[in-house]
Structure 1
Amino acid sequence: MTEQHDEPRSGTSSPAAASPALARLVGMPAPDFAEHVWSRAPLLTRGSDLPRDFADLFGPDAVDELVARRALRTPFARMAKDGTTLADRTFTLGGGVGAGIGDQLSEDRVLRELAGGATLVLQALHRSWAPVQDFAAALADDLGHPVQVNAYVTPPQNQGFSDHYDVHDVFVLQVAGEKRWRIRPPVLEAPLRDQPWERHRAAVEQAAQSEPFLEETLRPGDCLYLPRGWLHSATALGGTSIHLTIGVHAWTRRHLVDAVLGRIGARLSADVEARRSLPVDPGRSSGSEVAFGEDAEVVRSLVAKALHDLSVGEVVEALRPQVRAAQRAEPLGVLDQVERATHDEQGGTTWRVRRHLAAHWEDAGDSPVLVSRVGRLEVSADDRDAVAEVLDGIRDAGDLDPRLRRRLALAGLLVPADVSGE
């Protein structure tokens, strides 16, 4: 394993079995990665130090399938050349009779642009390609942060994008061909989503003239991790290069700040002192600090008290909707689900809890509500403990009353155990 870091690390330890998806990307135990690498410095792990390559996730055949037979539309695909994104019309076309939507990928136009040196970007593969979808969901569980996945297809000796940084951490999985990567330190450390590199274009362009912190060639099976903010550019070498970029949209302390402020605002809406009108004062129209001073001090006192009274649980609760919306639950077969749930009382189906539900309970008197990524489900107080035990893995779904089990299956909370997951 080749790596650049101020502290020595071992790259040959066996990855933690508890994080199987992450173990496919880094040649070290997950706790070591979390403590020494995550959000700190780049890490290049050679394929020889990883359990296997990435051919099972994606490859040339997948590119051809998606381009020619899946009717992908923008923004699920884009193309770029020499640092410039191409207009959609250069690589899209209508689908003909019965599918005349005009922004579908045209394999002929994509072929022409690729032959001319453009890079094809297939976006959101965590939604459109099953092997990537399953792996991305497992990796998000390992990391505790939501992820997205794009594929970059670059012709030989070409560069799709100039030096830039991302506002999310990335894992680069080299699938086919070779690509030369140049990595440079951040011009803005740990940028947020509203701090894209274009806002610091001059600094980025100047930094791109300096010697790289890391310059290496990625070959099939290699994986490169980059914290958000690190500058990078890459050039395909011999043969067409295909790599997956897994973008990790990290939860940050700023998310917690926003959650805290939101809860404080909600609390103060119930405080009559915070609802009072500001006094009539002609001097306020000039924006004078003196005019606002007394009321500002009152507000500071109100906010300080609300902050003091705010519990950690309230902050966590405020983040729940964002966490639920950041991912989807495990895919299920709709028709198969209906068929099996309808005939569940006859037996023959073993059920398990659907993965990635992000479920929690909201108590509303005698009607507990189970809230998850698949919606809200009212459960009777008598059934709550049984359902909770199934969700927690301490009770088998087969022990539930058949009518309750059928209801959970039709709500999308249970899936057949013989349906393969990631």
Structure 2
Amino acid sequence: MTPLADRERAALSARPVPDLSRLIDPIDVHTFRREHWERQPLFVKRSDPGYFADLLTLADVDEVLWLSGTDLRNIRVVIDGKETPVDELKSTARQNALEALYEHYRNGSTVVLNSLGDRWAPLRRLGSVLGAELSARIQCNIYVTPAGNRGFVPHYDTHDVFIAQVHGTKHWRLAGQPYALPLHGRPYDKSQPEPEPEQEIDLSAGDLLYLPRGTVHSAASNETTSVHITIGVHPLLYSDVVEHAVKRLFAEEEAFRKGLPMGFATDEQGQSQAVDQLVALLGVLRDRLSPREMVTESVRRAISIAAPTLDGHLTDLERLGEVEADTKVIRRPDLRWTLAVDEEAVQLTFHDKTVQFPAHVADEVRYVAQSNGAGFTGASIPGDLDQPGRAVLVRTLMREGFITFA
């Protein structure tokens, strides 16, 4: 790795970990879980405009837009709830797409950068750390609203959000939760009159607002451009877990896939037969569905939805031949993983894949997996493996992307 790349990675790793406790500070995580999570909004007022500067600044957004060129697939322009399709921007013959986007912005439209965490390293790290902490999928969208304008009419989201203000101020109007914790298939009915706000908040740079899903809200920038990060949290819901397990059982059991009796809608005997069959099928659900297995499957799903943490992996692969038993390495930070051990094999699951090892190296693999970011060498791993075997283990885990050079 080049000295410049080394310095860049070191600078990134030296930043404060953007975890939940840092987002909501000075509120502690226990209080947040008990009083706010999926219950009620949280407003954290700070007098620190640069609190989120390591995640994103106005200058960073400027650079992202400049580098986007004509690729606007993840960018939207919206004003007062009305969106201009990206295809319409691209089809503007007299100017390039980015200039067309800026023309909309100059005329009051909000610019939305969807999923910027997929291509901006600090936000990607935020999503990785927070996702692991919450066992959820994280999506970071950026909203840039010119002074005195509103991007969206009142609505609620079907996922929880943390709103981190990074530049300017924005006036938020919160109108409560008419329907608690709506599922994805129940969006807000925007045809109804705009509700009267129950709470109004001015969010300044460095402030944070948490909204549980279902909280009706709208926001308008004040005297200056407003930039905020919306950190969308998509947890696994109990409804998801049950639906996933039930659908799998439907695929296995033919009885669930049969139709109700012919003509049952006009035949009382057919309706009685349908009732009896449904009683029997509900019994099958009760007998065949295991809550423990459903939670175990949910753990696998929570791990699989995490974005791969593979920063520097290409360089690691290039240097793989340098790895010896005394090479200092480290488990990749913020990695979601699970370990299963039986009499025949060790299965290490991460990055939506499973790497299998012989059962006799279970202690060594467990040590590496549980190293919690502490650097180690193959020689320092406890267990019965000889030195060549330890070097092979380290090379294998580096090749698969589980560890990297310390």
TM > 0.5: yes
Structure 2 unaligned regions, length at least 5:
1-15, 382-389
1:80 to 2:71 alignment: no
Counterpart CA distance in 1 for 2:78 and 2:259 is 53
1:333 to 2:312 alignment: yes
Contact 2:144 2:226 in 1 (8 A): yes
Q: CA separation of 1:359/1:255 partners in 2, compared to 1, >3 Å: closer, same or farther?
A: same
**RMSD (Å) for aligned C-alpha atoms:** 3.0
What secondary structure, in the 3-state scheme, does the structure 2 residue paired with 1:44 have? strand
Aligned to 1:201: 190
Aligned to 1:243: 228
Counterpart CA distance in 1 for 2:18 and 2:139 is 18
Contact 1:167 1:193 in 2 (8 A): yes
Aligned to 1:375: 353
Measured after TM superposition, the shift of residue 114 of structure 1 is 0.9
Contact 2:256 2:281 in 1 (8 A): no
What secondary structure, in the 3-state scheme, does the structure 2 residue paired with 1:233 have? strand
Contact 1:168 1:227 in 2 (8 A): yes
- Taking the TM superposition and a 5 Å limit, the aligned residue runs for 1:6-405 are 20-48=19-47, 53-71=51-69, 73-92=71-90, 106-197=97-188, 200-202=189-191, 205-206=192-193, 208-210=194-196, 212-262=197-247, 264-265=249-250, 268=253, 274=255, 283-284=263-264, 286=265, 288=267, 290-308=269-287, 310-345=289-324, 347=326, 349-361=327-339, 366-393=344-371, 396=376, 398-399=378-379, 401-405=390-394
Within the candidate set 384, 392, 395, 1:406 is matched to 395
What secondary structure, in the 3-state scheme, does the structure 2 residue paired with 1:336 have? helix
In the alignment of these two chains, the number of paired residues is 378
Q: CA separation of 1:276/1:46 partners in 2, compared to 1, >3 Å: closer, same or farther?
A: closer
Measured after TM superposition, the shift of residue 70 of structure 1 is 3.9
What secondary structure, in the 3-state scheme, does the structure 2 residue paired with 1:412 have? coil
Q: CA separation of 1:56/1:276 partners in 2, compared to 1, >3 Å: closer, same or farther?
A: closer
Measured after TM superposition, the shift of residue 125 of structure 1 is 1.6
Amino acid at match of 1:412: G
What secondary structure, in the 3-state scheme, does the structure 2 residue paired with 1:345 have? coil
Contact 1:66 1:72 in 2 (8 A): no
Deviations 1:383-409 (A, max 9, x none): 233212221239945235101110111
Measured after TM superposition, the shift of residue 267 of structure 1 is 6.1
What secondary structure, in the 3-state scheme, does the structure 2 residue paired with 1:328 have? coil
Measured after TM superposition, the shift of residue 292 of structure 1 is 4.6
* Identical positions, percent: 28
Q: CA separation of 1:363/1:267 partners in 2, compared to 1, >3 Å: closer, same or farther?
A: farther
Amino acid at match of 2:157: D
Measured after TM superposition, the shift of residue 356 of structure 1 is 4.1
